[in-house]
Amino acid sequence: MNLMDIIGPVMIGPSSSHTAGAVRLGLLAAGILGQRPVKAGIELHGSFAQTYKGHGTDMALMAGLMGWAPDDARIPQALDYARESRLDFNFAKVNLGELAHPNTVRFNLTGKGGMSCSVTGSSVGGGQVCVTEIDAFPVEMNGALPAVLVLHRDRCGVIALVSGHLAEAGVNIAGMRVFRTDRGGLAIMIIECDQPVAPETIEKIKSLAAVESARFIASVV
């Protein structure tokens, strides 16, 4: 047990799951997109769908998408700020099935540079979160550490090449997960690191022949 387990996160209330966790989900989704979001379709499941207005989940999700921290005093006005910044957004209630966590959201995002992605994640309690799907890939990512997200073709040696660039830059790997659609198809590599990864290292990873895209995602704790 740590201090977070006892007192919870520093945040704008009322709920660690529905507000602090929602902010972190927005932050992770924007980081996965890799660009400033200009359009956001936000689909809410379970408890999120039933209580999102009363608990401020809608404001918290938008705050995260705009890059705000869970304790940002502007969170109650996040929807107004989003409109002023021309972030086109809408909320919808969906049923993602019995296996989905009650506090689950699916973001359908478009970025300023034209990138788009779908990110599904859950607020699992105490402000902690878990991203479970990126563009239909089942994944597992909690945002506790800085991470590198690599979309690549499933080829022998790709993991070693990416790891080599990180080692060359003095980046220590804390954990790694690889998810693929099928053998030889597309795969997603999530590498959690002990420190931030410099843009020049990300560019080297992007230049690898089998890599489709790579981006650095800051921690959200």
Supply the pTM of this predicted model.
Answer: 0.86
Tens-digit pLDDT profile for residues 108-134: 999 999 999 999 999 998 889 999 999
User: Domain end: 115, 141, 167, which one?
Assistant: 141
Quote the CA–CA distance of 18 and 193 in Å, as a whole number.
28
Give yes or no for residue 32 having a pLDDT over 70.
yes
% of the chain beyond a pLDDT of 90: 79
Give yes or no for residue 218 having a pLDDT over 50.
yes
Q: Do 134 and 152 fall into the same domain?
A: no
DSSP string, 75-105: GGGHHHHHHHTT-EEEEEE----TTS-SEEE
Q: Do 94 and 128 fall into the same domain?
A: yes
Q: What is the mean pLDDT of residues 184-188?
A: 91
User: So what's the pLDDT on residue 126?
Assistant: 81
Q: What is the mean pLDDT of residues 170-178?
A: 96
Q: How many domains does the chain have?
A: 2
Tens-digit pLDDT profile for residues 74-110: 999 999 999 999 999 999 999 999 989 999 999 999 9
Can you give the residue range of the structural domain that contains 50?
3-141
CB-based burial, 58-96: b 16+ in 10 Å, e otherwise: bbbbbbbbbebbbebeebeebbebbeeeebebebeebeb
Q: Do 116 and 50 fall into the same domain?
A: yes
**CATH number for 27:** 3.30.1330.90
User: So what's the pLDDT on residue 127?
Assistant: 85
Give yes or no for residue 52 having a pLDDT over 50.
yes
- Tell me the pLDDT band of 19, cut-offs 50, 70 and 90: confident
Q: Do 168 and 199 fall into the same domain?
A: yes
Looking at per-residue pLDDT, the higher value among 121 and 182 belongs to 121
User: So what's the pLDDT on residue 11?
Assistant: 45
Strand partners, 42: 91, 107
